[in-house]
Amino acid sequence: MRRVAELIVDRRNLLLAIFIAAAIGSVIMASHVNVIQELTDYLPEDTETRQGLDIMEEEFTTFGTAKVMIENVSLAEAQEIAAQIEEIKGVSSVDFYEEDDEEEQEITDGEALRDYYYELAALLTINFETEEDESLAQAAIADVREALADYDTWFYTTVDKDDSAELQGEMKVILVIAVVIIVAVLWFTSRTYMEIAIFMLVFAMAAILNMGTNFIFGNISFVTNAVAVVLQLALAIDYAIIMFHRFMEEKTQVDTRKALVRALEKGIPEICSSSLTTIAGMVALMFMQFGIGMDLGRVMAKAILLSMLSVFGFMPWLIMHWDRQIERTMHRSFVPNIEFWGKFVLAVRKVTLPVFAVVLVVSCYLSSHCDYIYDTNSVESARMNEYMTSKREISEKFETDNTMAIIVPKGDYESEAAILSRIGELDRVESTLGLANVTVDEEEEYVLTDALTPQQLADITDIDIDTVRLLYRFYAWKEEKYGAFLNSIDEFEIPLLSMIDFIYGEEENETFDFDDDLSADIREMYETVSDAREQLEGEEYSRLIFTMSGPVEGEDTFAVIDEVREIALEYYHEVYVVGDSTSDYDLSKSFTQDNIRITVMTAVFVAVILFFTFRNYSIPLILVATIQTSIFINFSIPAVMGTSMFFLSYLIVSSIQMGATIDYAIVITSRYTELRKEGVEKARAVTDTLNESFPTIITSGTIMTAAAFVIGRTTTNPTIASLGSTLAKGTLTSIILVMLILPQLLYVFDSLIGKTWRKRRISVGGEEGRAKS
């Protein structure tokens, strides 16, 4: 290690050139990293939702929609506004109700009005002509906003919702705030002001390298893209602090070069050992079924490694280059002496330890009974964006629909009609839509998939019966349906969908010369059918749409989904039920396994690392029990307060909290065991340990808590906000237990620790002996 340290110091200029070149390359490659916005993209490939979404993306067109609530308008004004919006280019229709003179009073007093107009608020559903990410829909929603600029409105739509741009803007602000807080903390705990600049430059290098090297993964999630920089800063700035403090200690005895060599020689093993627990938590995340764990875990594991490399390879040049500035900016320490805290900890141990034991059991029970939510749109944050705010405001006055889809093999319209009919009778189902129930006449006697005779087609299209008969004969001849000529053509039935396609095609080929009005009607009918087909029928599959009332997730909702699936499976062997509710359903089923897997793997990984770090059998149990209790407490808070927790927060934060905050426990335990080996009495060892470890723990802990808190309170993205808030509470809880309970456990179990040091066999003069490690 000495040779490695000397090589790093003596070749620091070469290493600087390598880091600068790598940073430039990373800046260039960062733009080639694709950010995925949907969490559903990370569902396991074998889930029904993932398979169904893939089919829908490949085979169907989903036109953009927007729900707009306009407040403080009269009924007449709302109707006029709806008519104006329908004229905007790119808007295909506006769903609002229309009143007939005969039915005006009945509708005004009935339930139909309640679905659209209530307490001077009108709810308009706007349908666009293209998919939401196309320019026509984007321009249309902008025109709609401009047209309604003078009204009190709430827009609930994803057409112009750019989560990535909004989140990136917020994270820039968050990063600035976090840096300000971190600089303030470092100023308080530093020995020289110059170290703050060195730490920030080292971190900036590590962050740039991590962002740029994400291109090796091709894609990363918006969650990882948003939080990786701040988490890297909070998790890995310790390494720079450890290295610099080692250097300052050595500098009191030798010159700058030798001090730096010694600091690297001692610091590299120490930092690598410290980082292993954090990396272990990240690796545990990578074993989640839900792909977001792999995404975040591998990026953060890489971030830790690159942070260490920056400390080992880039930081030495900065220290050597700014040696004089470091000397000139020395100042007294602002960290207070806290010997009184150690005395207090020992004085209250007979009270706090029994309480800790009770809290361990109770929090373990409560955390296992926490109510989890799986729908990202159901997570509320301290600051809410327009999308979430509009959803909340609209849902207070109107029922918000939960739209679902059933994907089945296409072609069997009778089965589709039967499924739609049976699903429509379920209690929670409000409406159904499919080619097999799209009506084509005012009397709702026929649907698009019905096979009609010439007379029936003439009745609903107002085409002359003789013309229709001619069309039927021509169709039968072209399609080689010669049986139609054996009997009367009036008895020949052709599916309406097929006939509309045929008539439009022949009209386009100028086979028939229809008058202008009839040609316009044919084109309008064909466009309507084409729109329906784009949305409801693909090359191999049909899509049946239904809307549900009530909550998006929960046992009752999941029970309805199961019932819908069972109905569809009576008619088809291949069925996919897709929507927000099924996504939540799939996530809820994988959560239990992911939860157990991550909890066990993180604890085992960390315990093994601790064993090899301390070479003691009891210390890993004490440390893991302390941090695991802080995790239990963190996740029992929602159960006590009667609130719900976002499942992803639990999975990710539990792993990060164990992997990262165990370092605080390692600092305390290492110092305590060193003092005990030196013969210091255990009570004095506790007092000295807490006093000497306080600067390290308060620096690292405050940085992580503050960074996570700022994320939770600043971002409007509910997923990111939930992660930040949960991590802030978890880190703070860990600090409290490490500074209060852990020293008491070390004191009480001191004799057990002394008896459980691992023995190792050594060779002396060719003879084997035994010695304590």
- Summarize the confidence of residues 475-485 as an average pLDDT: 76
Which pLDDT value is given to residue 359? 94
> Predicted confidence band at 499 (pLDDT cuts at 50, 70, 90)?
confident
State yes or no: pLDDT of 371 exceeds 90. no
Strand duo 117-118 + 121-131: pairing: antiparallel
With 90 as the cut, is the pLDDT of residue 322 above it? yes
pLDDT confidence of residue 484: 66
What is the structure's pLDDT at 760? Answer: 52
- Average pLDDT for residues 185-208, to the nearest whole number? 89
> Residue 555: what pLDDT?
86
- Pairing type for strands 644-646 and 91-95 reads unpaired
* Arithmetic mean of pLDDT, 254-274: 88
Comparing 750 with 522, the larger pLDDT belongs to: 750
Q: How far apart are CA 378 and CA 479, in angstroms?
A: 53
Mean pLDDT of 525-535: 81
Flag the least confident range among 103-107, 350-354, 390-394, 485-489.
Answer: 103-107
Q: How confident is the model at residue 349 (pLDDT cuts 50, 70, 90)?
A: very high
**Predicted local confidence at residue 108, as pLDDT:** 47
Q: What is the pLDDT of residues 65-93, one digit of tens each?
A: 999 999 999 988 999 999 999 999 999 88
User: pLDDT tens digits, residue range 37-49?
Assistant: 777 788 888 888 8
Residue 561, pLDDT score: 92
pLDDT at position 768 is 39
pLDDT value of residue 99? 63
Lowest mean pLDDT among 356-370, 484-498, 578-592: 484-498
Q: How confident is the model at residue 486 (pLDDT cuts 50, 70, 90)?
A: low
- Dump the DSSP string for 446-459: -BTT-EE-HHHHHH
pLDDT at residue 461 greater than cutoff 60: yes
pLDDT of 229 above 70 = yes
When pLDDT is averaged across residues 226-242 and rounded to a whole number, the result is: 82
What is the rounded average pLDDT of the residues 475-499?
A: 79
**What DSSP line would sit under 84-104, residue for residue?**
HHHTSTTEEEEE-----TTTH
The per-residue pLDDT of the chain, averaged, comes to 86
The mean pLDDT of 246-266, rounded to a whole number, is: 90
The pTM (predicted TM-score) of the whole model is 0.78
Tell me what pLDDT residue 763 has: 40
What's residue 767's pLDDT?
Answer: 38
Other C-beta atoms lying within 10 Å of the C-beta of residue 392: 14
Identify the top-confidence range among 63-72, 95-104, 606-615, 704-713: 63-72
pLDDT at 659 over 60: yes
**pLDDT tier for residue 409 given thresholds of 50, 70 and 90:** very high
CB atoms within 10 A of CB 494: 22
In 3D, which of 128, 135, 148, 134 has the Cα closest to residue 68?
148
What is the mean pLDDT of the segment spanning 274-295?
87
SS3 679: coil
pLDDT tens-digit series, residues 91-126:
988 988 776 544 444 444 456 788 888 889 999 999
Residue in the structure block whose two tokens are 């989140």 = 167
Looking at the DSSP assignment, which residues form a beta bridge with residue 405? 545, 578
For 467, the token pair is 């013309």
Encode 372-381: b = buried (16+ Cβ within 10 Å), e = exposed: bbbbbebbbb
Lowest mean pLDDT among 50-64, 142-156, 580-594: 580-594
CA 69/CA 378 separation, integer angstroms? 19
Kindly compute the dihedral angle of the four CA atoms of residues 307, 311, 317, 321, in this order, to the nearest 10 degrees: 110
Angle between helices 619-641 and 580-614 (to 10 degrees): 150
